[in-house]
Chains A and B, each alone.
Chain A
Amino acid sequence: MKVLLTWLQEFAPFPSDDPVALGDVMSDLGMAVESIERIGEGLDGIVTVKVLELRKHPDADKIQLVDVDLGDGEPLQICCGATNLTVGDVVPLATLGTTMPDGMEIARRKMRGEWSNGMLCSGRELALGEDHSGIYILDPSLALGTPIVEALGITPDVLFDLEINPNRPDAMSVAGVARDLAARLGLPFSIPSPTVEEVSGDVAAMTSVQILDADLCGRFHLRVIEGVKVEPSPRWIADRLSALGMRPINNVVDASNYVMLELGQPNHTYDLAKVPSGELRVRWAREGESITTLDGIERNLTGRRDGVITDGSDTPIGIAGVMGGASTEISELTTSVVLECAWWQPMAIARSSKFMGLRSEASARFERGSDPEILDLAARRLAELLAPSGARLLSGSISADGQMPERKPVTVRTERVNQLLGTAIDSNEIAVILRSIGFGVDPSDDSGILAVTVPTFRPDTVSETDVIEEIARHYGYSRIPNRLPTSTQTGSLTPLQRDRRVIRGVLVGLGVHEAMPLPFLAPGDLARAGLPAAAVTITNPLAAEESVLRTSLLPGLLRAIAYNESHRTDGVRLFEIGKIFGLPAAGSTLPDEREHLAVVLVGREAPAAVQAWNVLAGTLGFSEPSIDQSVSPAGLHPGRSGALLVSGSVVGEVGEIDPGVLDAHGIRGRVAWLQLNLGVALALEHGQRAYRHISRYPSSDLDLAFEVDDAVTAAQVQALLSDAAGELLVRIHLFDVFRGASVPDGQRSLAYRLRLQASDRTLTDEDVASVLAACVGAAATIGGTLRG
């Protein structure tokens, strides 16, 4: 909502000297000032001049020399880049020493060797509009040397652009803003009563209204204006409308808009001649009805959703509270006008406007709740504005009532006010505050319980808390003290939240960067990643690429890899922790939402991902982590992937991304992949670590190499050896794998180093020999033979 200072001043004596301070008060009242524009400022030193002669610049093609006359008949040379000038034009000249609205100072300067004694101005340079295509051409009858402010009749003013919250229908008007502001500043506020002469006439014979659906319209008020002459509005009205962002059209439409902006009462004017018998009806639309609105668009109406005003033949001629119809529009031939001021059910207008996709200045006000008590005031104000053109307001009006919401006084407890705000405001001060913004307060007894009557322009205020907010607003948020609640609770992270930090720490240490791809996919992305296509879809995506919810972190990371490769960043290592969305489980309406971790290591083979997993599993303290290569997860290389298990439960997958999938994304080389279902994995008991005594006795290393069938995994061999070595074993690791001539086909040699140590004694040769024998025996059970 934009407001002009001079317009506000018609309702209360606001000072003109400090608009910024005034703006601060508006912001502090919850009408946030987004900008303050000073109209007519910075135009001192700009005067009217006449073009005497246009000459070619001897040394520049794009500049011409213009001789102008300031009124003294002396030609003054100006260099000018614009080409829209002709001899005899009257134009604005910024004289030497002028500071332009944008801060530029005009000085005498040489342009390509020719003196320029000022600057001819475009509309934009004068801050009078956006036009910068040429010099602003003025009325040729203007006296030369006249200050531009005077020549254009510009009234210096201040334009405030305010952000109005949805619960402030009252602030959707100039008068409403003035009321709030005057209350805070302690200035007297009043809405002047329109002075308009009414002539007698039989209004009832000219027009009528019937409300057929009382749940649509609460009150419908009609007046008739005769002797209308459609012509351009007076300058001051047109200027004010322009300043507030509305295009002036003609005096009738402009007066209608002016009243809406000023009082917050949207209204509609019908050409009486186009409404048969002046009969109007108000009802819900019926399915299949349509109407051409004022903007020339034919709109289909939805039954019981949109409201309509019809003529006597039941034909819609307007969409209730949203926009009028073209058939009864004011034209140059209009002489008599039926003026409608109505109160519509806010929810009805909100629904209609939203679902029709048609928002208007009128609907914006009606859907927040307009003031049902100013219908006739608005009508008389409109007539007052039109009166200078000869229009006459007929005495008498036509009104019909539908359902109006019940309005009850609100009980406000002083104790509750202070409890909720943390203040110590007494009931007298509360009463003073509320009365200043039009609320009624029954004189309080000593109980501190107030009966508060809510003014009709504040339909948003229905509860005690609503009133408390008004008290707080006008008491001033900044006056409410700062206090800290005394929490008996201690702050802490959940185990899952702590584990996430651990996981990130590990991966960062391993050189992996955290990425955050968007969770939206395009149709086909899942299939391209080798994954099942079933997924939850977005009903109203802005783009098809954002229409599917991911069921895996794989597609997003593939895209990130491709993005990096396309920017010549190879070998990236990325991880993501994020939600994936499966189809809902039976009986649930929400997707099966799970938190996953995924790691991609570009240019690395599957073992790199296993190494990362081993570090993670070790750090998180998972018990019995293992890999089941008998399953091959979707999207992964079938021979180089497997499921991750912890204590026998599947918690994720590891391996290499399927080369076909990589091809489909234009990714070269191999990509190691690790995925962990954090919800499942971290729900398993983990991280329990009992201290193991460090032996003070010497240890002994035993290196054993076995020839083992390829079908037997190294992990199986290691597990067997570990069991066999028993409690003397403190560490075992695979240090060499060898395939070659000395090893039979289909087998390889796996070499392990076992470190043996006893906690209570020095190992004997017999100890070592018995471990060796046990290991050889264990290996034999899977066909492993010790290499000599």
Chain B
Amino acid sequence: MIDDIARIGASAPARISAMASLDELRALEAELLGKTGELTALKKGLGTLDPEERKIAGQAMNEARSTLEALLADRRSVLENAQRAITLASERLDLTEITDELERGTVHLVTQTWDRLVDVFLGMGFTVAEGPEVETDWYNFEALNIPAAHPARGMWDTLYVDLGDPETVLMRTHTSPVQIRVMTDGEPPIYAIMPGRVYRRDTADASHMPVFHQIEGLVVDRNISFADLAGTLEAFTSAYFGGSIHSRLRPSYFPFTEPSAEYDINCVFCEGSGCRTCGQTGWLELGGCGMVHPTVLSNVGLDPEEWSGFAFGFGLDRLALMRHGVDDIREMYTGDVRFLEQFPS
């Protein structure tokens, strides 16, 4: 019997490794170890042996069985891997054969710029205020120290609407009326920015639209100075445009601020060395700013001796255009998907 066991054990490895498929291997396994298999048949003969022989044969049989099981498992693993490899190979796909792309929409370039600006100011402790786009003369002009027939009214080409007395209700020409609303409805300290859509009586061309967007900032608190204005704009400039871009202020005139200033930044294209975009000056004019005019504070019931503040404002569309090198502002407003989809973020 020992010999029989040894024979099976000796011939099995070659037989097992000759199996080319899992089916064949399963058949061989039955043949070797199954109920009607060779080893099982030998096992039945154990009873006929004397105890000493039976012990030795039993041990040999167990050893042979484990050896065979291990060999079968190894072979099965090899065959399974081969089978899996064949399946995987047959499932190969050309991953560039995409016929139904997923489509994502886009947020408008103006909104992207709007949110980006807002986020910088949120980080600086500002809240975001909004107001109506159709305004009364009071909020848009009078309260801002621009009385009727003031020469400065010529600075804005105003669209009026047919409501109330003639030329008393208008499309707001700037976001500044929101300043008045914020100061009238709330009380200092005020740290607010006011993005919004504004209107001018202007024919559309590559750099003008009758409808465009501005963002305005207002701070009213005790002891606010021109130095705070300069510092705030410098901090914003570096945060928004990058650390290498700085701001400067130049004297200017606005009826609602005094002292007033133009707010320039280093040209973002040449970083100040001079290029075509900045007319070789190294600077880009961004907007206007200044200390809130005492008359404006009085108009909203604030004592200019107790409170002081600054305001600033600039165009938003131009920043959107500049960031992406868009050379015609009209492109932003046609709703042309070929334009919109170019700016996924």
Chain A interface residues (CB < 8 Å from chain B): 27-30, 32, 165-168, 346-347, 350-351, 354, 367-368, 419-423, 463, 465-466, 468-469, 472-473, 477-478, 480-485, 487-494, 497, 501, 504, 507-520, 536-542, 546, 549, 556-557, 559-561, 563-564, 567, 569, 572-575, 578-579, 581, 584, 589-591, 593
Complexed CA–CA distance, A253 and B82 (Å):
105
Chain B residues whose CB sits within 8 angstroms of the CB of A590 once the complex forms: 132, 134-136, 163, 169
Complex interface bits, B269-312 against A, C-beta within 8 A gives 1, otherwise 0: 00000000000000000000001011000000000000010000
Closest chain B CB from A442 CB (angstroms): 22
Complexed CA–CA distance, A482 and B211 (Å):
34
Across the interface, do A477 and B250 meet the contact criterion of CB distance under 8 Å?
yes
Chain A residues whose CB sits within 8 angstroms of the CB of B155 once the complex forms: 166
Across the interface, do B105 and A569 meet the contact criterion of CB distance under 8 Å?
no
Q: Residue B122 at the A interface, CB < 8 A?
A: yes
Q: Return 15 A-B CB contacts under 8 Å, by A number.
A: A27-B250, A30-B252, A351-B149, A423-B226, A469-B251, A472-B259, A483-B228, A487-B189, A493-B122, A494-B127, A515-B340, A516-B333, A538-B160, A540-B201, A593-B132
Across the interface, do B227 and A423 meet the contact criterion of CB distance under 8 Å?
yes
With an 8 Å Cβ cutoff, the count of chain B residues facing the other chain is 87
Across the interface, do B226 and A420 meet the contact criterion of CB distance under 8 Å?
yes
Q: Residue B235 at the A interface, CB < 8 A?
A: yes
Known: A472-B251, A540-B201. A517 touches B333 (CB 8 A): yes
Which residues of B (196-217) have their CB < 8 Å from a CB of A? 197, 201-203, 209-211
Q: Which 9 A-B pairs have the closest CB atoms?
A: A422-B227, A30-B251, A560-B335, A422-B225, A165-B253, A491-B122, A515-B335, A482-B231, A469-B259
Q: Nearest residue in A to B120 (C-beta to C-beta)?
A: A491
Q: Residue B2 at the A interface, CB < 8 A?
A: no
Closest chain A CB from B336 CB (angstroms): 6
Across the interface, do A593 and B191 meet the contact criterion of CB distance under 8 Å?
no
Closest chain A CB from B219 CB (angstroms): 6
Q: Residue B121 at the A interface, CB < 8 A?
A: yes
Chain A residues whose CB sits within 8 angstroms of the CB of B258 once the complex forms: 465-466, 468-469
Across the interface, do A563 and B128 meet the contact criterion of CB distance under 8 Å?
no
Across the interface, do A422 and B226 meet the contact criterion of CB distance under 8 Å?
yes
Q: Residue B19 at the A interface, CB < 8 A?
A: no
Complexed CA–CA distance, A510 and B102 (Å):
10
Q: Which of A29, A463, A488 contacts B251 (CB 8 A)?
A: A29
Q: Residue B224 at the A interface, CB < 8 A?
A: yes
Chain B binding surface SS class: mixed
Across the interface, do A480 and B226 meet the contact criterion of CB distance under 8 Å?
yes
Across the interface, do B111 and A514 meet the contact criterion of CB distance under 8 Å?
yes
Q: Nearest residue in B to A504 (C-beta to C-beta)?
A: B107
Complexed CA–CA distance, A351 and B257 (Å):
23
Across the interface, do B336 and A563 meet the contact criterion of CB distance under 8 Å?
yes
Across the interface, do B136 and A497 meet the contact criterion of CB distance under 8 Å?
no
Closest chain A CB from B154 CB (angstroms): 7
Across the interface, do A511 and B104 meet the contact criterion of CB distance under 8 Å?
yes
Across the interface, do B223 and A419 meet the contact criterion of CB distance under 8 Å?
yes
Chain B residues whose CB sits within 8 angstroms of the CB of A501 once the complex forms: 115
Chain A residues whose CB sits within 8 angstroms of the CB of B248 once the complex forms: 477-478
Q: Residue B324 at the A interface, CB < 8 A?
A: no
Q: Residue B168 at the A interface, CB < 8 A?
A: yes
Q: Residue B97 at the A interface, CB < 8 A?
A: no
Q: Residue B110 at the A interface, CB < 8 A?
A: yes
Q: Residue B125 at the A interface, CB < 8 A?
A: yes
Across the interface, do A546 and B127 meet the contact criterion of CB distance under 8 Å?
no
Q: Which of A477, A504, A518, A540 contacts B160 (CB 8 A)?
A: A540
Q: Nearest residue in B to A463 (C-beta to C-beta)?
A: B294
Across the interface, do B125 and A589 meet the contact criterion of CB distance under 8 Å?
no
Chain B residues whose CB sits within 8 angstroms of the CB of A490 once the complex forms: 125
Other 11 A-B pairs with CB < 8 A, given A518-B209, A564-B336: A29-B251, A354-B154, A466-B258, A484-B232, A501-B115, A508-B106, A519-B197, A537-B161, A542-B201, A574-B335, A590-B163
Chain B residues whose CB sits within 8 angstroms of the CB of A511 once the complex forms: 102-105
Q: Nearest residue in B to A464 (C-beta to C-beta)?
A: B294
Across the interface, do A421 and B225 meet the contact criterion of CB distance under 8 Å?
yes
Across the interface, do B154 and A518 meet the contact criterion of CB distance under 8 Å?
no
Q: Residue B142 at the A interface, CB < 8 A?
A: no
Across the interface, do A539 and B167 meet the contact criterion of CB distance under 8 Å?
yes
Across the interface, do B162 and A537 meet the contact criterion of CB distance under 8 Å?
yes
Q: Nearest residue in B to A517 (C-beta to C-beta)?
A: B335
Chain A residues whose CB sits within 8 angstroms of the CB of B260 once the complex forms: 469
Complexed CA–CA distance, A32 and B115 (Å):
32
Q: Residue B74 at the A interface, CB < 8 A?
A: no
Complexed CA–CA distance, A559 and B334 (Å):
9
Across the interface, do B136 and A516 meet the contact criterion of CB distance under 8 Å?
no
Across the interface, do B228 and A484 meet the contact criterion of CB distance under 8 Å?
yes
Complexed CA–CA distance, A118 and B224 (Å):
65
Complexed CA–CA distance, A513 and B252 (Å):
40
Across the interface, do B230 and A481 meet the contact criterion of CB distance under 8 Å?
yes
Complexed CA–CA distance, A466 and B253 (Å):
11
Complex interface bits, B127-142 against A, C-beta within 8 A gives 1, otherwise 0: 1100011111000000
Q: Residue B164 at the A interface, CB < 8 A?
A: yes
Q: Residue B151 at the A interface, CB < 8 A?
A: yes
Across the interface, do B105 and A573 meet the contact criterion of CB distance under 8 Å?
yes
Q: Residue B12 at the A interface, CB < 8 A?
A: no
Q: Which of A538, A563, A569 contacts B159 (CB 8 A)?
A: A538
Closest chain B CB from A423 CB (angstroms): 7
Chain B residues whose CB sits within 8 angstroms of the CB of A488 once the complex forms: 189
Complexed CA–CA distance, A694 and B226 (Å):
58
Complexed CA–CA distance, A165 and B106 (Å):
41
Chain A residues whose CB sits within 8 angstroms of the CB of B103 once the complex forms: 511
Across the interface, do B252 and A563 meet the contact criterion of CB distance under 8 Å?
no
Complexed CA–CA distance, A591 and B135 (Å):
9
Closest chain A CB from B128 CB (angstroms): 6
Q: Residue B47 at the A interface, CB < 8 A?
A: no
Complexed CA–CA distance, A33 and B126 (Å):
34
Q: Residue B261 at the A interface, CB < 8 A?
A: yes
Complexed CA–CA distance, A596 and B127 (Å):
23
Question: Which one of B115, B125, B202 has the greatest number of beta carbons of chain A within 10 Å?
Answer: B125
Complexed CA–CA distance, A579 and B227 (Å):
37
Closest chain B CB from A743 CB (angstroms): 33
Q: Residue B249 at the A interface, CB < 8 A?
A: yes
Across the interface, do B105 and A508 meet the contact criterion of CB distance under 8 Å?
yes
Across the interface, do A491 and B163 meet the contact criterion of CB distance under 8 Å?
no
Closest chain B CB from A474 CB (angstroms): 9
Chain B residues whose CB sits within 8 angstroms of the CB of A32 once the complex forms: 250, 252, 262
Closest chain A CB from B329 CB (angstroms): 11
Known: A489-B125, A491-B122, A542-B201. A564 touches B226 (CB 8 A): no
Closest chain A CB from B239 CB (angstroms): 12
Q: Residue B337 at the A interface, CB < 8 A?
A: yes
Chain B residues whose CB sits within 8 angstroms of the CB of A509 once the complex forms: 104-105
Known: A477-B261, A590-B135. A536 touches B125 (CB 8 A): no
Across the interface, do B228 and A538 meet the contact criterion of CB distance under 8 Å?
no
Complexed CA–CA distance, A483 and B225 (Å):
9
Known: A469-B260, A477-B261, A516-B332. A419 touches B106 (CB 8 A): no
Across the interface, do B108 and A482 meet the contact criterion of CB distance under 8 Å?
no
Chain B residues whose CB sits within 8 angstroms of the CB of A573 once the complex forms: 105
Complexed CA–CA distance, A504 and B106 (Å):
9
Chain A residues whose CB sits within 8 angstroms of the CB of B341 once the complex forms: 513
Across the interface, do A560 and B227 meet the contact criterion of CB distance under 8 Å?
no
Complexed CA–CA distance, A482 and B202 (Å):
37
Chain B residues whose CB sits within 8 angstroms of the CB of A563 once the complex forms: 334-336
Question: Which one of A516, A520, A537, A557 has the greatest number of beta carbons of chain B within 10 Å?
Answer: A516
Across the interface, do A569 and B163 meet the contact criterion of CB distance under 8 Å?
no
Complex interface bits, B154-185 against A, C-beta within 8 A gives 1, otherwise 0: 11000111111011110100000000000000
Q: Residue B27 at the A interface, CB < 8 A?
A: no
Known: A420-B226, A465-B293. A485 touches B219 (CB 8 A): yes
Q: Which of B127, B225, B336 contacts A569 (CB 8 A)?
A: B336
Complexed CA–CA distance, A350 and B341 (Å):
49
Complexed CA–CA distance, A168 and B115 (Å):
38
Complexed CA–CA distance, A419 and B219 (Å):
15
Q: Residue B338 at the A interface, CB < 8 A?
A: yes
Complexed CA–CA distance, A569 and B134 (Å):
34
